[in-house]
């Protein structure tokens, strides 16, 4: 199969894949071992509590620090594979020799930021070396923190190596990075002119294609140096947020999602939901909504949903008589559904950043998520009636067979809900249970893919995903720390209180603001940057913290469908080989529909708070 799901001709079989270099295989193996260890330790903790009435000493601390390691190692793997998130690769659109020059410039600036963050991490490690603290016996804290400078240094090296051009371009990029580090480390940034020039250079590099983590981390470094504050505080903030007790749920649930992607779960779910609702008007369109919602909930990445399910669902919609534009818009828009249901990654990340219990965020997002899914399903039924689409006759026999085939997949949400809300396990332990269950179901029950291949594919892909966005989280945390120290939230708070006098007006402005944020910023970046600023403002107007979180996530869910950064638009154009403008036009009716749902979520707080404990 090729990238677009089409069979390759028999006369031209694909060439054998070249094995990755030994160093790459070692990195992949270490990242997979970390993920497996993170899944096994919480299970041993559960067993220990129930059998020996005591857990595994230090298991929680080990899992938290494994998150730090998988974040930095995964970030290095993402840099190696050119998977770091950026706003685009504008430098690649220029002709030679301009492309080579601009690529070297971007690499130099990005590597300089990485080296400065590595230096910040080294200062933190030196401080911990003197204090002699331990994570667990025989594991000094400075050893665990050593991954921060090592990881950022490796990322800097790879950013230089990936610069377009030959050895001279890379040498120039490396030299430029060293010059940039020396310039920032000097006292020149205390003056306004060099400081403003440095900001301009950084922003130009970002526009040309520098990773977003370099933009956020670079701004944090420049602001701290301008104020003559030691940058070691950046790594201290990185360490604090990445080793928070709840954050390990993100790599674990992400791992489970990619395990499902590697198997044939999409085909089984399509068959099951089709057997349930295929007889309805717009049956296969409703199936599209339900399967995409289910899939995105576990992968946490709507782009993955479009790639994984597009080859199955789009042809099915077209065969049964749906117009191509409607089918394209439905599938692209449905990819963003599911982001409010447990155990989706943005919900967990918001809870971590905002300091809210994860189970409360899961409860708060349930009814709003159901509302958006029902609205989309209703629109799908309308589209099916207007198109005169064919239906699938209901068959109890087929429903029974489909349910039996998909029974192991359908039990996944039950494990999460019972584990967390039944008091059986913590959120991290429930995530670990989900990982081991998914691996067992795919590798040993369904046998869709071999055990080693499953771990290799799902583990490496999870490392790239987690590393990429944990780098964003780390860099944005440093920038947020500066903003808090500078009193930016308090200044904004006073301005809002003096200009907005009603809760209704505040929520309306908040919706507009969040839609703009979603149009220009990835959801993970938006959470770590914007939430610390708006949370105090919302509290001043009496907005419940969980309600604010669901408003935030529902608005950012629309960001996947809004240009210029809307990921679903790009993924759909790539997956279905359609012009970007055509995808935008196809999505517009669904976008307006979801906006109406977001307004209902915003102004009917009961939808969010009804299930919360009183």
pLDDT digits (tens, 9 = 90+) for 441-453: 888 888 888 888 8
Over residues 413-441, mean pLDDT: 81
Contact yes or no for 559/526 (Cβ under 8 A): yes
The answer to whether residue 520 scores a pLDDT higher than 60 is: yes
What's the pLDDT tens digit per position in 127-152? 888 778 888 888 889 999 999 999 99
The rounded distance, in Å, linking the Cα atoms of 156 and 56 is: 37
* Residues listed for the chain: 614
pTM score, whole prediction? 0.77
The residue written with tokens 């064919």 in the block is 390
pLDDT surpassing 50 at residue 2: no
Give the pLDDT confidence score for residue 300 in this predicted structure: 61
Distances (CA, A) of 196 to 176, 181, 201, 543: 19, 16, 9, 38
* Mean per-residue pLDDT, 93-97: 82
Alpha-carbon span 331 to 590, nearest angstrom = 10
DSSP class of residue 442 equals I
Instruction: Compute the average pLDDT of residues 295-320.
Output: 73
Distance CA 526, CA 461 (A): 23
Local structure of residue 425 (DSSP, 8 states): S
Least confident segment among 175-189, 221-235, 416-430, 455-469: 416-430
**Distance, C-alpha 532 to centroid of its chain:** 18
C-alpha distances (whole Å) from 13 to each of 5, 8, 10, 345 are: 15, 7, 6, 38
State the pLDDT confidence band at 588, using cuts at 50, 70 and 90. very high
Mean predicted confidence (pLDDT) in 569-588: 79
The CA distance from 221 to 213, in Å, is 12
State whether residue 560 is helix, strand or coil.
coil
Per-residue pLDDT tens over the stretch 348-386: 889 988 889 888 999 999 999 999 999 999 999 888 888
Structure tokens at 485: 């120290």
* pLDDT reported for residue 25: 87
- Average pLDDT of the residues in 52-61: 78
Confidence of residue 10 (pLDDT cuts 50, 70, 90): very low
Cα of first residue to Cα of last residue in the chain, in angstroms, is: 53
pLDDT of residue 1: 29
Query: Cα(453)–Cα(443) distance, rounded to whole angstroms?
Result: 9
In angstroms, rounded to a whole number, what is the distance separating the alpha carbons of residues 445 and 611? 35
Contact (Cβ atoms closer than 8 angstroms) between residue 543 and residue 507:
yes
The phi-psi region of residue 21 (left if phi > 0; otherwise alpha if psi is between -120 and 50; otherwise beta) is: beta
* Diameter over CA atoms, the chain: 77
How do residues 549-567 score in pLDDT, each as one tens digit? 999 999 988 887 887 667 6
Give dist(CA 260, CA 256) in Å, integer: 6
| 139, burial (CB in 10 Å: exposed 0-12, middle 13-18, buried 19+) | middle
Would you say residue 71 has pLDDT above 70?
yes
User: Mean pLDDT over residues 527-534, rounded?
Assistant: 83
pLDDT band at residue 573 using 50, 70 and 90 as cut-offs: confident
> In the chain, what percentage of residues exceed pLDDT 90?
27
CB 105 within 8 A of CB 28: no
Residue 465: per-residue pLDDT: 77
């Amino acid at each position: 199969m090729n990238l677009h799901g089409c069979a390759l001709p028999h006369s031209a079989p694909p060439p054998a894949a070249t094995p990755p270099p030994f160093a790459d295989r070692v990195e992949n193996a270490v990242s997979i071992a970390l993920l497996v260890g993170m899944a096994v330790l919480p299970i041993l903790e559960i067993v220990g509590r129930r059998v020996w009435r005591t857990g595994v000493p230090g298991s929680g601390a080990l899992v938290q620090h494994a998150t730090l390691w998988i974040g930095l190692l995964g970030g290095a793997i993402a840099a190696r594979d050119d998977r770091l998130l950026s706003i685009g690769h504008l430098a690649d659109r220029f002709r030679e020799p301009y492309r080579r020059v601009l690529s070297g410039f971007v690499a130099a600036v990005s590597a300089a930021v990485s080296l400065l963050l590595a230096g910040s991490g080294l200062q933190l490690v030196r401080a911990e070396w003197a204090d002699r603290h331990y994570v667990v016996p025989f594991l000094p804290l400075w050893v665990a923190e050593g991954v921060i400078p090592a990881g950022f240094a490796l990322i800097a090296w790879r950013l230089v190596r990936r610069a377009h051009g030959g050895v001279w371009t890379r040498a120039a990029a490396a030299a430029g990075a060293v010059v940039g580090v020396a310039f920032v480390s000097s006292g020149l940034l205390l003056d306004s002119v060099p400081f403003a020039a440095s900001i301009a250079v950084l922003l130009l590099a970002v526009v040309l294609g520098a990773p977003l983590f370099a933009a956020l981390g670079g701004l944090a470094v420049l602001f701290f140096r301008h104020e003559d504050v030691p940058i070691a505080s950046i790594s201290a903030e990185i360490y604090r947020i990445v080793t928070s007790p709840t954050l390990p749920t993100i790599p674990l649930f992400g791992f489970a999602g990619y395990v499902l992607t590697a198997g044939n779960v999409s085909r089984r779910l399509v068959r099951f939901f089709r057997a349930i609702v295929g007889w309805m008007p717009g049956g296969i369109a409703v199936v599209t909504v339900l399967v995409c919602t289910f899939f995105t909930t576990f992968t946490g990445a709507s782009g993955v949903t479009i790639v994984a399910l597009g080859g199955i669902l789009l042809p099915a919609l077209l065969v049964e008589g749906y117009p191509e534009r409607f089918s394209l818009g439905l599938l692209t828009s449905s990819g963003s559904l599911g982001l409010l249901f447990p155990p989706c990654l943005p919900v967990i990340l918001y809870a971590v950043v905002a300091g809210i219990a994860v189970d409360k965020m899961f409860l708060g997002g349930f009814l709003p998520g159901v509302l958006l899914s029902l609205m989309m399903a209703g629109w799908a039924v309308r589209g099916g009636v207007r198109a005169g689409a064919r239906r699938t006759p209901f068959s109890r026999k087929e429903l029974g067979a489909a349910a039996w085939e998909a029974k192991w997949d359908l039990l996944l949400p039950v494990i999460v809900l019972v584990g967390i809300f039944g008091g059986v396990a913590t959120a991290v332990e429930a995530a670990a249970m989900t990982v081991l269950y998914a691996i067992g179901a795919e590798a040993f029950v369904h046998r869709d893919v071999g055990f080693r291949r499953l771990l290799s594919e799902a583990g490496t892909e999870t490392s790239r995903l987690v590393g990429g966005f944990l780098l964003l989280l780390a860099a944005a945390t440093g920038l947020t720390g500066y903003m808090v120290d500078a009193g930016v939230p308090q200044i904004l708070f006073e301005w809002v209180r003096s200009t907005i006098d009603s809760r209704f007006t505040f929520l309306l402005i908040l919706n507009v603001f969040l839609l703009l944020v979603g149009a220009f910023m990835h959801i993970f970046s938006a959470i770590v940057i914007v939430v610390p600023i708006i949370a105090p403002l919302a509290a001043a107007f009496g907005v419940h913290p969980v309600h604010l979180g669901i408003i935030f996530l529902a608005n950012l869910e629309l960001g996947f469908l809004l240009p210029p950064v809307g990921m679903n638009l790009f993924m759909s154009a790539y997956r279905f080989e359609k012009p970007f403008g055509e995808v935008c036009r196809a999505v517009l009716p669904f976008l307006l529909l979801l906006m109406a749902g977001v307004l209902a979520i915003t102004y009917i707080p009961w939808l969010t708070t009804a299930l919360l404990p009183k």
